[in-house]
Amino acid sequence: MHSTKLMLCVIFFPVLTAQGTIARLPVYNRVQSYWDSLNNGNDVDSNIASVTYTKKSSLSSVNVVWTTNMFQLNNAKCARWYITFNGAECADPGNIESVLYERDITHATNADWHQPGMVEGICHGLAAGTYTVTLAVTNCNGYSGGNAYTGWASGTFAMIEEVFMGI
C-alpha cells in the first residue's frame, strides 16, 4: 500500500464578521493523504487507513473528507463506513459516516455495484493534540454481514483540517 502526505500550515482566508468587517481566520494543519488501490475486502475493519493529525487549537473543529470506491455485495445488505478519532467516533454533532445499502429488485439475488463514495463531516469539541484519524467499515445496525469492499481499483484520498466555525 502506498501513502503520501502533504502538509500545509497556516493559510489565511477572509470572513465577514458580525460587525461587517473582514477578518482573516487561519486554517492550521491541512493534511492530505492518498492511497493507491487499497483493495480492502474486509466487511468489518476498524482501520482501513489512518492519518496522524495534530490539532493545534482547542477552539477549532476538525473537517474530514475521505473519498474512495465503495462496494457492497449481496442483495438487501448494508455497510457503514465511518471516521474515528483515536478509536472513538465524533460525539459533537454526531458520527461522521456514509451508509451503502444495495438491493437489486429486478433480479433479487446479488447487487454488484462499485461506486464512488465519500465520508465527510465536521467534528466539534476535540481538544488540541495528536489524533489518529481512521476510516473504518462495519455492518449497518440491524443488518447481517454482506460483502463490503473499499478502494477497489481506485485511489483513496483523505483531507483533514482545522476550521473555525465563527468569530
- Count of Cβ atoms closer than 10 Å to residue 12 Cβ: 9
12 pLDDT more than 60: no
CB 160 within 8 A of CB 64: yes
**139 pLDDT more than 80:** yes
- Closest by alpha carbon to 39, among 145, 116, 154, 117? 154
Q: In angstroms, rounded to a whole number, what is the distance separating the alpha carbons of residues 75 and 151?
A: 20
**pTM of this prediction?**
0.81
- Grid coordinates representing 63? 473537517
**What is 3-163's CATH topology?**
Jelly Rolls (2.60.120)
From 87, 83, 113, select the one nearest 95 (Cα to Cα).
83
- Predicted confidence at residue 164, as pLDDT, reads 82
* Nearest-angstrom CA–CA distance, 91 and 161: 18
Q: Check residue 9 and give its pLDDT.
A: 42
CA 31 to each of CA 9, 11, 27, 56, 73: distance values in angstroms, whole numbers, following the listed order: 9, 12, 11, 13, 32
Strand partners, 101: 78
Q: Is residue 89 very low, low, confident or very high in pLDDT (cuts 50, 70, 90)?
A: very high
Return the pLDDT at 3.
52
How is the chain split into domains, by residue range?
3-163
C-alpha cell at 125: 469539541
Q: What is the pLDDT of residue 101?
A: 78
21 pLDDT more than 80: no
Mean pLDDT of 103-109: 63
CB–CB of 28/128 below 8 Å?
no
pLDDT band of residue 109 (cuts 50, 70, 90) is low
Find the distance separating the first CA and the last CA of the chain, reported in whole Å: 41
Q: What is the mean pLDDT of residues 3-31?
A: 59
pLDDT at 113 over 90: no
Distance, CA of 30 to CA of 23 (rounded, Å): 20
